[in-house]
Structure 1
Amino acid sequence: MTDTMRRIVLASRPEAAPVAENFRLEEVALPEPEDGEVLVRVEYMSLDPYMRGRMSASKSYATPVEIGETMTAGAVGEVIASRHPDFAPGDKALGMFGWADHGCLPGKQLRKLDPAHGPITTALGVLGMPGITAWYGFNAIGQPKPGETLVVAAATGPVGSMVGQLAKAKGLRVVGIAGGPEKCRLATETFGFDACIDHRAHGDAASLSAALKEACPDGIDIYYENVGGKVLAAVLENMNPFGRIPVCGMIAWYNGASDDDMPLAAAWRSVLTNFLHVEGFIIFNHYDRFGEFVAEVGPKVGAGEIRYLEDVAEGLENAPAAFMAMLTGGNTGKQIVKVS
């Protein structure tokens, strides 16, 4: 076993969109597990939009990554040393190991993976944080009813594709919004959406709103919000009275809002006049329901009843480039990095 490990740290805070200079690859000493801890050799790590917020010092729901600290990330790998009774060498585990090829954490912070539910990468996507984010927001906040219409943007991403499939299974009409004709084809042919709109074919919110009106002739009852920007503006114009909007992200604004975004006053007027239920949530506050989520969704993933896509970048050193591309829609499916 090597006595060193590699990690990527935050070298500087981005002013707008992250650039390569904001990251630094380092080699450091490999930690040794103390009582109750587990050492894991990371095989795959997750890249997620929330990481952009952690790069900023602005006040948020979570403490930012400090300059010189390892970039935060969930990751999966093989246990190579353990001083915790629930883990043994050879086990597969999930933990917040960060952008690194090894990680050492208390066993109580790890989840042992069940191979019956599919490849270990599913713990980073369809059966991990994105999956439960989709499941919780759709069910607990969306309060779906058969026959309603649901719209979700980033339709082929790990959250959007799960939301759409869950909605179809409950008898809703599902309309996706995605970037490009290929992603729209995936939304309808692979994930079973009723329709999908290419937002890149619509230069402004007004054009996108008209396309949504055509795709949703009965209006929109649930909008699963994970994008913001012109998509949010277009959707709000088509929401039905007493509609519900679970809010888990706004990736279009993570690097700053553009001048042509819908004014906030107009957005909130729509919320008021249509009596909309808008509720923001952070899934880490609802992990007490993780067991319920896995029990319901895990067997469906293992049986192939729920489909998923993974976009795998090769090599820890390529994580920054994959992350920056993901923030502008350069990935198809759950963005993962194969570390070892």
Structure 2
Amino acid sequence: MPDIQLRFRKDMLVLSAPVSAALARDGLDVARDLEFTLLFEPDVVEEACRLESIAGAQCLVAPTAGVTPARLAAAAMDGRGPDVVCAALAVVRSLRPQHVLAAIGPCGLPLDGSSKASMTENREQYARAARLFAGEEVDGFLLEGFAGCADLMCALAGLRKVTDAPILASVDVDGEGMLANGRDTLEAACAVMADFEASVAGFATAAGQDEACALARRAGAACDLPLMASLVVGRRDARQQGPTPENPYYCPDTMVAAADALRAAGVQFLRAAGDATPAYTGALVATTVGLDVRGPAPEAPAGLARQEALDDLAASMRERVSAALGTLAAEADAAAATLTPEERRAGEGE
């Protein structure tokens, strides 16, 4: 695997969507059984990762978000952290991705930002999680799902206590740039990322394209780090025929314009999250593959010239995405055709 740091501020890169959504759609209780499934039925997780790989994601994210000691204990997996990490990385590496990122999520312990003891206890959760990857070949870590600056600070400090590997950090924000805890702002989180040596500053939002681009520009102004944006797909409904405030990314095609606009706003790393399917990842890849990162775009031409430029861009992107999704469907069918009769019967039984 090439060093991902060599690509910072250069190539547009897409991360795989969280496999937890795909597993949940198949009926798995992810919060309770993901680690158990990794250990005893890894082929179930591998199939979800395989579809993301077929979609073209350059960075496959290993499903290790729950490997902090507190979360392993909650899943009745005390002491099985090394086994979970080994199984998750084996699944992802088998697909030969360009880059492997190890996810680490919030530990879930109560946190009092004014208490040194509380902060230290939380920091050690992340340090112990990072130590599980000692000697493993990963391109970096993805800190995802953080709702407040204090927990993010503990996570970054804990990882930096153990590793100098690249860290992509992401916080959950609304369209106004407020973190999920309702107190901290995106700018404050970006300051924490810069101060505690994150390699990439990111955010995840369910807000629409315009709001997401505004967030990206705010993040770029708040810190001098490569940027990452995760677009959270809401609960999908086949009857939804257009974007709504609750789910602006109602179909994979919405990723086309969003990806191009976010690239213009300076974002390098893109991800479809929430209830996203591999088709969402494929749309992001088709829109950005082979393109370089660019800074915020200059003012667009006014009037008719502007409209014509946008129309041409939209037509070009639709062609690229349609071709990519057609290829994805063909490759998925080909993969299914290689299954043995026993494997097909087992899949139908599930």
Q: TM-score, normalised by structure 2?
A: 0.30
More helix per residue: 2
